[in-house]
Amino acid sequence: MSKETHSQDFNSEQFKKIWEEMDKIDPLTPGQPSESELCIEAYMKAAEHDSYLFGDYDYCKEWLGICT
C-alpha cells in the first residue's frame, strides 16, 4: 500500500476548468454593478430623500404658476 494520500478530488487543472464553467452558469459571487446600475441607484436614493424632505411638492405650481 502506498504512503501517498490519494485525493478524491480532480487534479487542480480539471477542478479549475469545471469551477469556471459552473461560475459562468451560476456565479457564487456577484459581479461589480455597472455604471448605469450605480446611476439608477443614486437617482432612486435621491428620489427617496426628495420625497421625505418635500413631500407632495408641486414644482410647476410653485415656480411656474402652472396648475397640473
Tell me which DSSP letter residue 37 carries.
H
Q: Are 61 and 68 in contact (CB under 8 A)?
A: yes
**Tally of domains in the chain:** 1
| Contact by Cβ (8 Å): 24, 16 | no
- Locate cell 408641486: which residue? 58
Rg (CA), the chain: 28
At 4-62, the pLDDT tens digits run 555 565 578 888 888 888 888 877 777 778 889 899 999 989 988 888 887 877 777 77
> Could you tell me the residue range of the domain that residue 68 belongs to?
38-68
Residue 20 lies in a domain: no
Q: Residue 3 domain-assigned?
A: no
CB 24 within 8 A of CB 34: no
**Residue 62 belongs to some domain of the structure:** yes
Regarding pTM above 0.75, the answer is: no
Is 18 within the bounds of a domain? no
